[in-house]
C-alpha cells in the first residue's frame, strides 16, 4: 500500500535535517524528514513510499538528491528500494537503532514511550562499568571535563535548557573518560536520545536541583579512584531515572484509560477494550 504524500515543511525550517551529518546538504534534509515520518508512523512499516514524482514535487528537489536521501535511509535499514515495486518501509528490527540519526528521530518523535526506558536500561549496563574503568584510567583533563559539566549543571539549575545540556555532557564525559573508543562511540550514538531522556526526567527547577547530589557523588568517587563506589553511585542515579520514566509511563496509561469511553448503559463493556500495559521489573536496585 502506497502512502499519500502531504505538503512538506520548508527544508530550511528548524528541525529539518537535525542529527544528520552534513545537515546543510539537501539530501540530508530530505532523508531526515523522511526518517521522522517513518519513526512517527506517518509512513507505517510495510507500506510503500509515495511515488518518486510525487516526492520530487513535494520537496522541490532533483531526482539525484531524492535518490541519495533514500540510499541514506536504506543504509540505516529503514527502507528497501526495488524496481517496479517501489520503496518499502522495513520492519523496526531491521533499523540500525544505534545510528545517531535513527535514535535521534525516535527520541524526538514521541511516538515510542518505551524507547527511553529501553535506553536507560542499556545505560544501566554500560555507564556503571564506564565509571569503574574511568576511576582507574582517567587523567586529570578527563576528570576536569566531568567536573566542569557538573558545575554547569549547578549554575544552570534554574534554567532547564542549560541544565539539560550540561547533564548530557556530564554523562558523555564519563564515557569518554573511560579511555575506550567504543564507549565514546556509544556516547556519540545516544547523545540525541540522552538529551530527550534528561528533558523527560528533569523538567523543572526542583528536579534539576534534586539530582545534583547524585551526580556529585559520582564525581567524588572518581576523584578518589574508587571504581566500585563510582559504579554504585552511577547505578543508583540511573535507577532513579528508570523509576521516573516508569512512573511517567504509568501516568500516561492511566490518563488514556480515564479518557477512554465509559461502559455502555446496562453495564455493557465497550468493544475491544485496550489491554493494560505493564513492564516487568526485577527487585529494586540495592541502595
Q: Which residues contact 64 (CB under 8 A, 6 or more apart)?
A: none
Residue 218: CA atoms inside 13 Å, Cβ hemisphere, count? 32
- Mean pLDDT by 10-residue block, N- to C-terminus, for the chain (287 residues)? 46 37 75 95 96 95 96 97 92 92 84 80 96 98 98 95 95 97 92 85 89 97 98 97 88 68 48 42 42
Q: Are residues 80 and 124 in the same domain?
A: no
Residues 116, 69, single domain; the answer is no
Mark whether 233 and 120 lie in a shared domain: yes
Domain of residue 212 covers 112-256
Q: Do 139 and 249 lie in a common domain?
A: yes
Same domain, 218 and 141: yes
pLDDT of residue 285: 40
In a domain, 274, yes or no: no
Residue 3 pLDDT: 53
The CATH number given to whatever domain includes residue 204 is 1.20.120.530
Same-domain check for residues 198 and 162: yes
Report how many domains make up the chain.
2
Contact 78, 95 (CB under 8 A): yes
> Is there a single domain that holds both residue 41 and residue 133?
no
Identify the pLDDT of residue 209. 94
Residues 82 and 167 in one domain: no
pLDDT at site 2: 54
Amino acid at each position: 500500500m502506497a502512502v499519500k504524500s502531504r505538503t512538506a515543511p520548508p527544508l530550511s525550517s528548524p528541525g529539518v535535517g537535525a542529527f544528520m551529518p552534513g545537515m546543510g546538504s539537501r539530501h540530508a534534509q530530505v532523508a531526515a524528514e523522511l526518517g521522522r515520518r517513518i519513526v512517527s508512523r506517518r509512513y507505517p512499516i510495510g507500506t510503500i513510499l509515495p511515488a518518486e514524482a510525487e516526492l520530487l514535487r513535494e520537496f522541490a528537489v532533483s531526482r539525484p538528491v531524492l535518490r541519495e536521501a533514500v540510499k541514506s535511509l536504506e543504509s540505516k535499514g529503514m527502507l528497501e528500494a526495488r524496481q517496479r515495486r517501489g520503496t518499502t518501509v522495513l520492519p523496526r528490527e531491521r533499523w540500525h537503532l544505534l545510528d545517531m540519526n535513527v535514535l535521534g528521530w525516535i527520541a524526538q518523535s514521541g511516538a515510542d514511550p518505551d524507547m527511553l526506558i529501553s535506553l536507560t536500561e542499556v545505560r544501566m549496563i554500560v555507564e556503571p562499568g564506564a565509571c569503574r574503568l574511568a576511576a582507574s584510567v582517567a587523567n586529570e583533563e578527563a576528570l576536569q571535563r566531568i567536573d566542569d559539566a557538573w558545575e554547569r549543571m549547578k549554575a544552570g539549575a534554574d534554567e532547564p535548557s542549560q541544565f539539560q545540556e550540561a547533564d548530557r555532557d556530564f554523562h558523555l564525559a564519563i564515557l569518554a573518560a573511560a579511555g575506550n573508543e567504543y564507549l565514546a562511540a556509544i556516547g556519540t550514538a545516544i547523545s540525541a536520545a540522552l538529551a530527550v531522556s534528561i528533558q523527560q526526567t528533569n523538567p523543572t527547577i526542583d528536579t534539576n536541583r534534586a539530582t545534583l547530589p547524585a551526580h556529585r557523588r559520582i564525581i567524588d568517587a572518581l576523584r578518589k579512584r574508587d571504581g566500585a563506589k563510582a559504579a554504585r553511585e552511577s547505578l543508583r542515579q540511573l535507577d532513579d531515572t528508570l523509576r521516573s520514566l516508569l512512573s511517567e509511563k504509568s501516568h500516561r496509561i492511566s490518563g488514556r484509560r480515564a479518557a477512554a469511553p465509559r461502559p455502555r448503559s446496562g453495564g455493557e463493556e465497550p468493544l475491544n477494550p485496550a489491554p493494560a500495559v505493564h513492564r516487568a521489573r526485577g527487585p529494586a536496585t540495592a541502595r
